[in-house]
Chain A
């Protein structure tokens, strides 16, 4: 396939540290403090000190923005990296920086990268500020005058998928139910009380056809990982988790310019990641998918090849995506039930995938998980990145 960097990064880079801060309602830590706490926990997990880090990547903070965010975090931590980058925004970009970090390691730009991401969207913003922030989405001249809140953008996708393939509200609800079930088994998750399909369907309509429980959370929290070369990884405290494949796809910025409402660039991202890893959807033991809204998961399952186009609604029924099912997804609870502090969202999927592959997940452990797929998307299904992680090199 055009543009596949076949095997250029496969097996060459590993995650050797991964950690989350407390998430959900965390009023006692500022956004910046959450970044640094996540970093400290990941360094401890890896068994190294901050002085061992020579690459730093952060995402921007909505609540405490800085023009040079990564530089600000480096200054705050008093570390002096030789590779320093701020990822601009969004779930896709956030995951794509693992792609950048891996490339930086393989090309020798740095040896050990700290990726830390956090925000305090729940406690750091007033309710009005948060709503105002939401109104910032969309093209200022050609979309915002029509008053679309963020759920409306995704409701347009849900409705189109319904119309094209007969996807139902109950099928979308099954995604929320699965995520909540997994969150109920994760003491760290923000929302842990199990829900039913009826609970989702009876929750308040936000933007037809999406109900409140089809929408992800607003949270505080931070996550961080440490990446280094596979060779160096052997010297770390933790068992390394290897990057087997990664790929990106970018189709538009504004939803009104999207080529398709029902097929996304997750297709290209996934194909590139599978091609690099040399494996396919059937080899995936656990998938951590971007779930800002339930219809996104259904489209991703199709575009990432877990089922044919149009079958995503039927695929999520009957517990197939729950623990014990054919393809457990979002085992920490996802953005729908674990936490969603904004830009960092995807990184919690990465830290969860690492924990699953290390076998640290207790009651929510996917039995004998060897290969995990993580997918992030940002914008409105605009920018996609898939990463495939493994317990062993392939």
Chain B
């Protein structure tokens, strides 16, 4: 099979393994600095703000807002051809960090900047589940 018919399955590293282990359990985990309180993503050995080493893994709320998005009409590779059109977005987590993701569970033309979204997981392999975001469900708790 040609390489570009296979989706790019992430290979966890020493540094990212806790993130992917969280995803496997359908938990979105990011880092928080115990010294200054900053949340960060991607994972890093130190806090990117105060450079302290007291970074801890925490489970994020999974709530976010769409920062920007695009509707992909021409797939990046044959592996994604069946999903056209799909939404590639940047979302800002309620905790602060930004992530790239796909917006799922919505017609692509219904996606808007500022739209509240929540995490959902797509299981790719036994080890790897990919966090994606869908429109936030009817609010069960105050914003």
By beta carbon, the residue of chain B nearest A261 is B68
Cross-chain contact of B74 among A141, A206, A258 (Cβ < 8 A): A206
Q: With A132-B4, A140-B8, A140-B10 as known contacts, state yes or no: A204 contacts B100, CB within 8 Å.
A: no
User: Does A135 contact B10, Cβ atoms closer than 8 Å?
Assistant: no
Within residues 254 to 279 of chain A, which ones have a CB less than 8 A from any CB in chain B? 254-258, 261
Chain B residues within an 8 Å CB radius of A77: none
**Does B143 interact with chain A (Cβ within 8 Å)?**
no
Residues of A that sit less than 8 Å from B by CB: 128, 131-132, 134-135, 138-149, 151-152, 155-157, 159-160, 163, 204-210, 254-258, 261
User: Does B68 contact A159, Cβ atoms closer than 8 Å?
Assistant: yes
Chain B residues within an 8 Å CB radius of A148: 70, 72, 76, 88, 100
Complex Cα gap A59–B86 (Å): 34
The B interface is mostly helix, strand or loop, or mixed, namely mixed
User: Does B76 contact A147, Cβ atoms closer than 8 Å?
Assistant: yes
User: Does B42 contact A135, Cβ atoms closer than 8 Å?
Assistant: no
User: Does B99 contact A256, Cβ atoms closer than 8 Å?
Assistant: yes
Residue interface mask B80-100, A partner, CB < 8 A = 1: 100100101110000000111
By beta carbon, the residue of chain A nearest B79 is A147
Cross-chain contact of B67 among A143, A146, A147, A261 (Cβ < 8 A): A261
3 tightest Cβ-Cβ pairs between the two chains A and B: A155-B70, A208-B71, A141-B10
By beta carbon, the residue of chain B nearest A159 is B68
**Does B138 interact with chain A (Cβ within 8 Å)?**
no
User: Does A205 contact B11, Cβ atoms closer than 8 Å?
Assistant: no
Within residues 58 to 79 of chain B, which ones have a CB less than 8 A from any CB in chain A? 67-77, 79
User: Does A128 contact B4, Cβ atoms closer than 8 Å?
Assistant: yes
Complex Cα gap A225–B33 (Å): 49
User: Does A142 contact B99, Cβ atoms closer than 8 Å?
Assistant: yes
**Could you jot down 13 A-B contacts, CB within 8 Å?**
A131-B77, A132-B3, A135-B77, A139-B100, A140-B8, A142-B99, A147-B75, A147-B86, A160-B67, A163-B113, A254-B42, A261-B67, A261-B90
